[in-house]
Amino acid sequence: MKLGFLTACLPQVPLERIAAWAAEHDYDALEVATWPATGSRDFEASHLDVASFTDRDAEQVRTLLDGHGLEISALAYYENNLHPDEKRRAEIAEHVRRNIDTAQLLGVPYVGTFIGRDPGRSVRENIELGNQVLPPLVEYAGERGVKLIIENCVMEGWHPDGYPGNLAYSPELWEWIFSLGFYLNYDPSHLMWLGIDPVEALRPYVDRIPHAQAKDAQLDPRARNRYGFFGKAAERDDPWDMGWWRYRVPGLGDVDWRSVVDTLYEGGFTGTLSVEHEDPVWGSDEEKVKQGLVIAHRTLRPLIVA
């Protein structure tokens, strides 16, 4: 098992500086963010321009990573592949394909994305839509020796009422996406607030989890007594603010990391555990984000066999 982090937490820092810092602070791998450079969302990061990536670019990136003793664990483009607007859905699918092409050039085995959802359709209707539009992406990846990995983030902010916006949030839905040929980029933080035991949910599916993300969640049951499971309603100005839980870096929330890592080992996991830093306490500027990554490292490194 290797320890890495998702570069999206440092959207304004070039990949060269991120790689140097990661190596200096004893990380093994980078999950590299590859959103288009549109600036449409604050958390989007574009550390590789996959839309115009060439063999020469691949050589330069490999030289950079090799020089720091790092590897790229996966490319990361988490978008709504069931977007209700067909034109936008096609744009997203095209960028997924460009990620796959870039992964092939770099010898990177995985591209991470979301299933997504059309919020105007029921879950069952979305599954029917997914059965139609998603298999070509899986086939495109497979032909190039790449696996598509789906993060189990709920993406509640994509739904007008805070309901699941990414149909990969439960083991029941994992089994559906596995049937389409996807793999899981397992993240225990999302299971915590759903009331799903992240260890028991993980145990049966490790063989379909080649890559995992390390993010923590801090729950506040007293606030849940006010807002309910679905979070703020009348008081929610920010679609991502549920009001009774928040993301934290590993070690500052309620995930039992010792049990999670042990279960991954027990199931034969040999991939990368990649820190996804979305902690509001250790955010807002580059130095605080890096301190958050240091905290995550201190939590996880002792659990990973050298």
Enumerate the domain spans of the chain.
2-303
> What average pLDDT score do residues 36-43 get?
61
- Judge residue 172's burial from the number of C-beta atoms within 10 Å of its C-beta, 0-12 exposed, 13-18 middle, 19 or more buried: exposed
| Nearest of 201, 171, 174, 193 to residue 263 by alpha carbon | 201
Domain 2-303 CATH assignment equals 3.20.20.150:
yes
pTM (predicted TM-score): 0.96
Percent of the chain with pLDDT over 70: 98
Higher model confidence: residue 89 or residue 40?
Answer: 89
* Confidence at residue 305, expressed as pLDDT on a 0 to 100 scale: 83
- Sorting pLDDT into bands at 50, 70 and 90, what band is 134? very high
> What average pLDDT score do residues 199-224 get?
98
Cβ neighbours of residue 205 under 8 Å, at least 6 residues apart?
171, 174, 178, 184, 186
pLDDT at 54 over 60: yes
**d(Cα 277, Cα 154) in Å, to the nearest integer?**
16
- Sorting pLDDT into bands at 50, 70 and 90, what band is 306? low
* Confidence at residue 37, expressed as pLDDT on a 0 to 100 scale: 80
Q: What number of CA atoms fall less than 13 Å from residue 277's CA on the CB side?
A: 28
160-210, pLDDT tens digit by residue? 888 999 999 999 999 999 999 999 999 999 999 999 999 999 999 999 999
- Residue 79 to residues 61, 84, 95, 153, 199: CA-CA distances in angstroms? 24, 12, 10, 11, 26
167 touches 236 (CB < 8 A):
no
Beta bridge partner(s), residue 112: 76, 149
**d(Cα 138, Cα 141) in Å, to the nearest integer?**
5
